[in-house]
Structure 1
């Protein structure tokens, strides 16, 4: 092919440069074009020196210069500038390789680059420079750099969490992240019934059911990763992600952070337990674990995982997919361990003493579920939501089943020991404290029990009762029936009435002084108070009818012409009165009416009936016995003596005291 005219050489080269510029998005395209053009004119084979490699956005250290800096300078020795840029690029890569090889050499291989901010900056710049470099030596150095950065990333993750180590973590988390959770025993310290499972006390705890835990960033951040460390991790992640090492990066992050979060669970008292282990553990131990679970769930979701998510978004800001993968790997195991314990409780054996802990777990999980779901996205979010909602449903089933179990336990209580003095039965204390605590969970229980209304018989007191109100009414009705059944343990009818008054008044007071009053209503309280008054009347009739009969005129001989017979009858009457009163005094001073007001009311009722009758009887017939050798033997007591003796009734004195 003929060569181009000398005068047109510059025009040909300029046109070729323009064509190559338009097509040179890659080095291969430029080379192909030069090869084609040189086939037309061998002078064009020298054009390769005029064009530097194309820009590569993946390279570190900032954007490269464009292939052609100024179209207007095409004729001003472009080959010289392009060559200089190639030389500079080669020098940069060579220096980057040298930096990487230096840290891979024996004197430095065991040292940490990120112990020095200056060394860290140089190494990151070198690694970034090697990204996209074409020659084999640069690629090998890049692999070495990625391995080094992966290990440095792991070390920074671990070192940045130094406050989490050992006893410091335990003390700090428990001190700074302390929560208040509902406590069963703290509100029912006198739950005491031999036929029911015993419940160990834990000390008083306030806060109520479903209390929200607020954990600030200042409380959480220092126990995960320090801010300076987060910045360094982000710098490493930026380079590794641009180099295509996202899987390796996520594996390191996920492993380290997963272990850290699991360590936090242990510190918060959440051990990994199988279903069989949960079933075997003693209640006193399990109760503590359930309490800690409620505590830990809120700390983990609102504190640890929320902060973990924030840290992930900072470190992996350059890649949303990497951020999601890293968080899921780090957090999923921690969440599943919490959920697995909740599931083991939900499907475990049901017993009355577990109810309030299960309710606490139900409310805690229901409360944090939206936040827990929001921490994850895509498939992980759906999986976590499905798991948590399933456990929430089973916890709800456990609550309903446990309430039914409690009702059966009341009806099946079989203790046969009569309490001395007719005091409040332990069953009454246990059930009423238990029932009173149900009101603390009214919102959850109304929801959980609303489908059980058909199974609850209507007590007739209030057809507009809530589901929980119906449930409470049935439980108390079962209790009253059981208490009435236990009156048969007492042979003395008067003591039966004292026993019924003690227990029913205790029930009424527990209702009146709590949220149970709202559930059952004023009419229920008025009805039971009227019942207590009937028991009081029954007591007076059964105890004092025989005493008062001694003070009546009925059956006495007429005074006219029958003085001796009247005296004999009066002696017998006073003798019988004294014996009857003394017998009641000996017995009923050992009985105990627990409520002070009821005790005083009964004493007043006795005095109102006995003292006026005695005063009148003595006043009418004292003259018939005065002057005899033994008048004082029959009229032993003054009215004031009897009044003082009545004050000793129902105090629960020990015999012979």
Structure 2
């Protein structure tokens, strides 16, 4: 790049001395910063002005074609440093001349030379920034550098430059060419900025820097997928489209804070370390639009009227990442100049908090207002149970965020129990000690609201056994979801144990109601004289119970096996006892008289009960079974 863009080195400035092509008039200039200097003699002033004039006029953009096409800093670094030193000394000389004679010709000459030099340095500054965009990208800078101290002494800038130059040469064997170029460019920029700011030309320097670096930040934010979005446009978007934009933002904010803005902060701190105010105002200017777009996005999303169930989790995701990055954001945007950025971040954070609170209240209200009747007729797991537990299970992954959002919110305080039936209000599961974590109480409360709703649905079942099976199915599902998610840590083992026991009580009640008459149809002491009546009564009760119960659903395999096993243990041994007693009396169940009332062998009963709740997910007709273990007749 250097060979393509710049000419070969030229002779020393002492041999290329020229004079101004035309007289220059004195105009007002920015008030320079105070510098301590010793009082030079008139001879020394004349000698210095001669040499300064030669060097500065050599690089005069208005009179030298050579200066227009050649970069001072790329051409000869040694001469570049001489040039900077010359300008710094020229500033000191101007102070001296001003104190001696404000209207002297030498002061006019010095002032004109200063303006020429500043014009050249401004162009050099621009060239270094524009030609090193790739080498000064925020990722490289943030990865390689640490933030320069804001209290750097202005008197050390020349020493810093020299030390940096030496460090670069010493480390050239171990760092990449890109890093060398980046370090060199940063050192050059700092040298020029120090000179221009100390000479009173900070505005000219900052204007160039702002044009180049602001475009890099704005372009970086755009490339990360964050675009300007109006509230009306966001409200018109489908949730799926808006969700993709939120996902892009969640990825973009970490990169933007830790790489883009952090890199620019490091570069700006380094280049303008001479002046705190210049450094902070410059960074504020280049980062303002990009930061506003990035940090204003969460507030925009929070304000949208989208009511998708997934919105809460996206809100929590955004809240979590803003909370995580806030210390870094606060460090990067720490000055009064960037207070608007911090205010925007806090506003978005607060809006996300309020939105999360409202969405959670809406979620609880939605459970209580549910009026769907699906799955009740078959006794299976209700859609409300599945949806609610899916929601709460995912919500349990956000415990840390919820604790941050609701440190003292009503959502974490004692629930308003008046909305639940008295049965639930005074159940053991609703009692917690004062030391119980607020989140545990609140998650338990949400599940209690669900169970209350399910209890209300169960009461509408015409069959009592079905209502108990429905409650057992749903509570078993709830406990299983708790075990398989972070809810087990939020609610604790005691909660799981209590509700598992409650589910088993529902199962016991179901068995008692559904199969109680079947069991009671078999007296404990077999009596041959009563055999016909007992078997006929059993056949009737068993057929009725089986036809009804086999149309019900038990989706969970473990629960299904447990229920079938429990029923079998209640019926089969007692039936076998009666069957064997009859067999001992008549000698064979093939006896024509016996076949009139003995329909099943004990193996038949076992097989039918093994196929109870066939496939466990949908009702099935008894006629669909194909059992061949007994030669006796089957019902159709």
Provide the TM-score with structure 1 as the length reference.
Answer: 0.70
2:555 pairs with one of 579, 590, 593:
593
1:150 matched residue in structure 2: 122
1:316–1:626: structure 2 CA closer, same or farther, 3 Å change rule? closer
5+ long unaligned stretches in structure 1: 1-56, 69-81, 177-217, 560-565
The alpha-carbon deviation at position 273 of structure 1 amounts to 1.5
Report the counterpart of residue 544 of structure 2 in structure 1.
580
For residue 531 of structure 1, report the CA deviation from its aligned partner: 2.1
Q: What CA deviation, in whole Å up to 9, does each residue of 1:587-643 have, x standing for no partner?
A: 35xx333142x2222121111111022212223334468564474464343212322
* 2:580 aligned partner: 619
Deviations 1:173-195 (A, max 9, x none): 9xx9xxxxxxxxxxxxxxxxxxx
Within 5 Å, give how 1:20-169 maps onto structure 2. Answer: 67=40, 83=43, 85=44, 87-101=46-60, 105-106=64-65, 109-118=68-77, 120-121=80-81, 124=84, 131=91, 134=106, 136=108, 139-162=111-134
Q: Matches of 1:653 and 1:512 in 2, distance apart? A: 22
How far apart are 1:389 and its partner, in Å?
2.5
Residue 261 (structure 2) pairs with residue 297 (structure 1) = no
Do residues 389 (structure 1) and 389 (structure 2) align?
Answer: no
Name whichever of 152-161 and 573-582 sits farther off: 573-582
Aligned residue for 2:371, secondary structure, equals: coil
Question: Structure 1 residue 99: deviation in Å?
Answer: 1.2
- List per-residue Cα deviations over 1:344-365 (Å, max 9, x = no partner): 1333336342222222222322
Hey, what does 1:358 align to over in structure 2? 315
Could you list the per-position Cα deviations for residues 468-508 of structure 1 after superposition, in whole angstroms to 9, with x for gaps in the alignment?
Answer: 22321221112112223333675544343333222101212
Q: What pairs with 1:510-521 in structure 2 (closer than 5 Å)? A: 510-521=481-492
Alpha carbons 1:411, 1:478 under 8 Å: kept: yes
CA deviation string 1:532-591 (max 9, x = no partner): 1221122212322343355449999956xxxxxx75x46744652563366258535xx3
Rounded Cα–Cα distance in structure 2 between residues aligned with 1:474 and 1:246: 62
The one of 431, 456, 465 aligned to 2:415: 456
Structure 1 contact 97–138 (Cα < 8 Å) conserved? no
> Quick one: distance in 2 between partners of 1:532 and 1:104?
95
Do the aligned partners of 2:56 and 2:117 also contact (CA within 8 Å) in 1? no
Residue in 1 that maps onto 2:8: none
Q: Could you tell me how far apart the structure 2 residues matched to 1:298 and 1:323 are? A: 24
1:105-138, CA deviations, whole angstroms, 9 ceiling, x for partnerless residues? 4465255444434475566566556656646566
Q: Is the CA contact 1:607–1:643 (under 8 Å) kept in the aligned structure 2?
A: yes
Q: Which residue of 1 aligns with 2:169?
A: none
Match of 1:635 in 2: 598
- Any conservation in 1 of the 2:522–2:534 contact (CA below 8 Å)? no
Give 1:314's aligned residue: 270
Q: Is residue 392 of structure 2 the alignment partner of residue 435 of structure 1? A: yes
Highest Rg: 1 or 2? 1
Q: Deviations over 1:306-349 (max 9, x none)?
A: 33222222211222221111122122322222221122133333
- C-alpha spacing 1:646/1:470, structure 2 compared with 1 (3 Å): same
Partner of 2:444: 473
1:272–1:337 Cα contact (<8 Å) kept: yes
Point out where structure 2 has 5 or more consecutive residues left out of the alignment. Answer: 1-30, 95-105, 145-173, 418-424, 626-636
| TM-fit CA distance, 1:454 | 5.2
What residue is the counterpart of 1:239 in the other structure? Answer: 195
Alpha-carbon distance between aligned partners in 1 of 2:392 and 2:179, rounded to the nearest angstrom: 41
| 2:337 corresponds to which of 375, 380, 389 | 380
Q: 1:92 to 1:545 in 2, by over 3 A?
A: same
Equivalent of 1:406 in 363, 387, 391 = 363
User: What is the alpha-carbon distance in structure 2 between the residues aligned to residue 653 and residue 529 of structure 1?
Assistant: 21
Change (3 A) 1:222 1:297: farther
Match in the other structure for 1:46: none
Asked if 1 retains the 8 angstrom alpha-carbon contact of 2:250 and 2:321, the reply is yes
SS of the counterpart of 1:428?
helix
Partner residue of 2:22? none
Residue 644 of structure 1 is matched in structure 2 by 607
- In the TM superposition, what whole-angstrom CA distance separates every residue of 1:407-434 from its partner, at most 9, and x where no partner exists? 1111222323226853323322222232
For the residue of structure 1 that corresponds to 2:287, the secondary structure is: helix
Separation in structure 2 between the aligned mates of residue 374 and residue 306 of structure 1, nearest angstrom = 9
CA contact (8 A) 1:313 1:323 kept: yes
Rounded to whole Å, the distance in 2 between the matches of 1:365 and 1:586 is 54
**Per the alignment, do residues 279 and 489 of structure 1 end up closer, same or farther by CA in structure 2, a change over 3 Å counting?**
same
CA contact (8 A) 1:508 1:528 kept: yes
Preserved CA contact (<8 Å) 1:504 1:528: yes
| 2:528–2:581 Cα contact (<8 Å) kept | no
CA distances 1:89-108 after superposition (whole Å, capped 9, x unpaired) = 24313312431236754465
Distance in 1 separating the partners of 2:444 and 2:548? 37
Instruction: Quote the residue 1:367 is aligned against.
Output: 324
CA deviations over 1:13-72 (Å, ceiling 9, x no partner): xxxxxxxxxxxxxxxxxxxxxxxxxxxxxxxxxxxxxxxxxxxx989xx9988546xxxx
* Structure 2 residue aligned with 1:31: none
Q: Is the 8 A contact 2:265 2:332 kept in 1?
A: yes
- 1:139: how far off? 4.1
Q: How many residue pairs end up in the alignment?
A: 528
Query: How far, CA to CA, are the matches of 1:634 and 1:578 in structure 2?
Result: 13
Please name the residue that 1:532 is paired with: 503
SS of corresponding position for 2:294: helix
